[in-house]
């Protein structure tokens, strides 16, 4: 892995390939920030290549989705007693 990082930073001919492999390895190791950084570098260096931009967009979408779903888990809903009280005051019945 260390040699791959060196090639991604200092390589001449194999640097883009090393960056791709490093991004994929980072994704596998759940290092989303490193993967995003490598993909952003590739998009900047090769703007005409749609594959890099598409992969970066997918990573951003997955990150946003995971952030939003994590936030939704923390939004408290009404307790069962509050729910029953609201239904009772509005004349609704709950069936069990």
Domain ranges (residues) in the chain: 1-62
- pLDDT of 45 > 80? The answer is yes
Share in percent of the chain as helix, strand, coil (round to 5): 75, 0, 25
pTM of the model: 0.60
Average pLDDT of the segment spanning 75-85:
65
* CA angle at 47 for the pair 37 and 2, rounded to the nearest 5°: 35
Percent above pLDDT 90 for the chain: 8
- pLDDT of 4 > 80? The answer is no
């Amino acid at each position: 892995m260390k040699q791959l990082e060196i090639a991604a930073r200092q390589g001449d001919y194999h640097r883009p390939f090393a960056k791709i492999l490093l991004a994929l390895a980072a994704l596998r190791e759940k290092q989303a920030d490193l993967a995003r950084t490598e993909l952003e570098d590739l998009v900047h260096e090769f703007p005409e290549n749609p594959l890099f931009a598409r992969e970066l967009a997918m990573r951003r979408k997955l990150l946003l989705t995971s952030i939003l779903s994590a936030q939704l888990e923390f939004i408290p809903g009404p307790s069962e007693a509050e729910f029953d009280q609201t239904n009772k005051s509005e004349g609704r019945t709950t069936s069990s």
